[in-house]
Chains A and B, each alone.
Chain A
Amino acid sequence: MAMDHVFIRQEMVEARQPPRGTDGPIAWLRRSLFASPSDALLTILGLLFLLWAIPPIYNFLIGHAVMPGGTVEECRAEGAGACWAYIYARFNFFIYGFYPIDQYWRPNIVFIMGAALIIPLLIPSAPFKRINALLFFVVFPVVTFYLLNGGVFGMRHVPTEQWGGLLVTLIISLVGIICSIPIGILLALGRQSKLPIIKTLSVMFIELWRAVPLITVLFMASIMLPLFMPTGTTVDKLLRALVGVTLFSSAYLAETVRGGLQALPRGQYEAGASLGLGYWKRTYFIILPQALKHVIPGIVNNFIALFKDTSLVSIVGIFDLLNTVQSASSDINWSSPTQAVTGYVFAAAVFWIFCFAMSRYSLWMERRLDTGHKR
């Protein structure tokens, strides 16, 4: 008799409204700005802070700023913001330093060549990787040296004292990067080695350079290097700084590469050995490609640190970007209350663009490489 009481719904259930307030701008506000009373308080405080901080910054950088083409008098006026006219007027000095003006085409070719070589190198799908890398890491530095230094093919000799600005910053970072990669890899391998003397030497080298600040390394390079050389040899000032920066950076790079070597499973080493490959073949064909791939983000981070650290060469008297900006800030023709600040903001912006681009690239690379390890 229970069978008699059967209930069968005759009509469709009316569709219910979707839950309200889970989507749309108001829901987003509630979720991410006013989720709880303490969140609301933080939001209010944060808004107040922005309200306090942003208008003066905007006014300084854009609102009351003197744009390129303006005059010194405008920059000296009461309440004037950043003096972009000054940056515009001294722009060439910031980029090339004291490089002779009629020879600017030489650094320009270097800039164009560098960009043309490095961009395809950074795009994973671009063809001819091997040739490209060879051109960038071997041919490009040599060509750059002769092009900038001159003395061949009828080009005027330009001593390194006249190089400067962003040009020198880029040269030091590129040379530092290119030279520290092989040294760093060798040191990392040495540190992993089972041979006691090689291991000890590597560890000592790495720990010594990593322990001291770069500025003492630069002092040491600029003061001691001439002492170490045979009597009568003179070492170029820029070269001394390059040696210091390279040794310093290779110690840091070695530790990054060591991380990659340690991350490799033992099986890879054993597999290589079981194929009958010797140490160098095994390292070159099996270990390093995998280890380096692991630590590309770390290596890029090393490069970012190196790029920022190149600014320290200004302390030993080399005219890199920071030093040109610093020295131009006492330029009487443009002396105005905001001259120094504008120069620093400009230099900071240049450094920031390079470093931020590199860090984004490393993040992108990390994500790209990560897919290879997903199971």
Chain B
Amino acid sequence: MAVQDNIGSSAPRTSLLNDPVVRGILYQIIVGGLVVAFFYWIIVNTAQNLAAQNKTTGFDFLFRTAGFDISFTLFPWSRTSFYWQAFLAGLLNTLLVAVIGIFFATLLGFALGIARLSSNWLIARVATVYIETIRNIPLLLQLFFWYFAVLKAMPAVRASFELPLEIFINQRGLMVPRPMPDAEFTWVLVAIVLSLIAAIAVGIWATRVRTATGRYPPRVVQAAKIADAVVSFLVAALAFSLLAQYVPALANASPLIWAAAVIVAAASLSRFAPYARAIVAFALTFVILATLLRAMFPVWHTAAIDIGAAIAGVVMGWILLEGTRNRPPSEGRFPIALLILIAAGIPALVYIVTGAQLAFEVPVLERFNFKGGVQLPPELVALVFGLTVYTAAFIAENVRGGIRSVNKGQTEAAQSLGLKEGDRLRLVIVPQAMRVIVPPLTSQYLNLTKNSSLGAAIGYPELVNVFTGTTLNQTGKAIEVIALTMAVYLTFSLLTSAFMNWYNGRVAMVER
């Protein structure tokens, strides 16, 4: 006690400047003062410059007539529209590209990330080459490439490439059919929403009952069996009628197709279900492969292509047979077919009962241009394509990192508990990987949205092009325009980080 007192009283008196607290306050005053002075200097300069150029400030320009054309807008646009409408048009175009790009980039990115981890040497190598090539080349260069070297080099309108489903591609962009729903079709849309909700509700209820009792409710099991048969019948009918395109003998025997579908449906209720599924899988793979190969190698003899497709189809059927052999149709299986049937069947029923029509207005080549359909400008196509290809490479790396981060022991533990492959992924691996994948994934989404501003360089009318470009040039309101643009991107960024914080809080590992 005495010793401590001694130390306390004999502590050397130091200069006030050496006191950390005082020093901290001093530093802050200096830095704060400098920053304030800097901004004051800038503001004074700006005011002087603006005065010298006889310019005023304020946002009233937003309500003046824009008087320029925008090549692609989501709402009717005319030269008499206001500047705030130009802002909105640019914003909507940015969001359009972002949403489409995010969708495709996620699909491609996950596929590539998984492919790069594949034990298949060839697949892993192909994915690696893709990722290492794409992410080391500037996005702007890639956009120029897609726009100037690919889309602008497409054939003229008269010689358009025809893709399946009445889609055409030429110098002027991509022409796709426009859906033309009639009044009754609203009911179908309502039915789609309601039946989706119903399917999810049934799924949750069934899972809850199973968690409580160990079994799915008997009624659900019965309904699931019937749904299984119905879905099997539909898929089989589809697969066999597609097959008829390639097998001439089948084409003239439609009763045969229906009979086969009925047999498959019946088999799906018995212990022969795996075989039935394998046959359907074989038919589907054969059709898909044959179509694909014919598109890829048009010069090869079609018979050779069909043989190749048949071999691959057999392999596929065999795989499915292997995979399903040891799995009897047990009551423990999740009633997925039932849910699909509810979600898809009810709208289909409504569609038939109400007599709704969903016609498609197909783009037709007229004298100088395509008439009808939706015409997507080449700028949009190039931008979406470029952003997708580029961002997917980064998403793939995030996905790979996420999956790699899940300890191998987790897989082994799940195996030792007797979980099947699918359940192992769904219940153990993916939830843990997602915890690592989602935060960088959301930043990739934000990056994609920000990168869509490069559309300005190829003439896509997004926010930066329409607003920071044309509007600023016309009005000269540099400060207001740039402030608004930055505010938009800042909002995106804040929303993203808010989501990330929420997600992290939800899934964070609970540590001891």
Contacts and interface: CB of A to CB of B under 8 A. Distances in A.
Interface size range on B against A: 35 or more
Interface stretch (B158-166, B223-231, B360-368, B479-487): B479-487
Given A213-B464, A308-B137, A220 B482 contact: yes
A227 B144 contact: no
B489 interface: yes
B32 A230 contact: no
Contacts of B118: 42
Given A39-B120, A208-B490, A211-B494, A231 B485 contact: no
B145 interface: yes
B313 to A, nearest CB: 10
A162 interface: no
Q: Is the interface of B mostly helix, strand, loop or mixed?
A: helix
Contacts of B149: 340-341, 344
A49 B118 CA distance: 17
Interface string A60-98: 000000000000000000000000000000000000000
A311 B35 contact: no
Interface stretch (A102-110, A116-124, A146-154, A345-353): A345-353
A213 B456 CA distance: 12
Contacts of B28: 195-198
B46 interface: yes
Given A48-B296, A227-B50, A308 B139 contact: yes
Interface string B306-328: 00100010011011001000000
B75 interface: no
Contacts of A352: 133, 136-137
B468 interface: yes
B119 A50 contact: no
B52 interface: yes
B145 A348 contact: yes
A212 interface: yes
Interface stretch (B241-249, B329-337, B350-358, B446-454): B446-454
A373 interface: no
A371 interface: no
A44 to B, nearest CB: 6
Interface residues of A, number: 64
Interface string A201-219: 1000001101111011001
Given A46-B122, A231-B52, A216 B35 contact: no
Contacts of B457: 215, 314-315
Interface in A7-51: 32-33, 35-50
B63 interface: no
B435 to A, nearest CB: 18
A128 interface: no
A43 B118 CA distance: 11
B24 interface: yes
Contact of A33 (B121, B296, B454): B121
A348 B485 CA distance: 30
B31 A228 contact: no
A224 B136 contact: no
A216 B315 contact: no
B132 interface: yes
A304 B393 CA distance: 15
Given A37-B318, A41-B319, A340-B148, A219 B464 contact: yes
18 contacts: A37-B315, A38-B319, A49-B126, A201-B32, A212-B450, A212-B490, A213-B489, A215-B464, A216-B485, A227-B45, A228-B45, A229-B45, A312-B138, A314-B140, A314-B457, A326-B148, A329-B148, A348-B145
Q: Which 6 A-B pairs have the closest CB atoms?
A: A211-B493, A32-B121, A355-B136, A213-B450, A311-B138, A308-B138
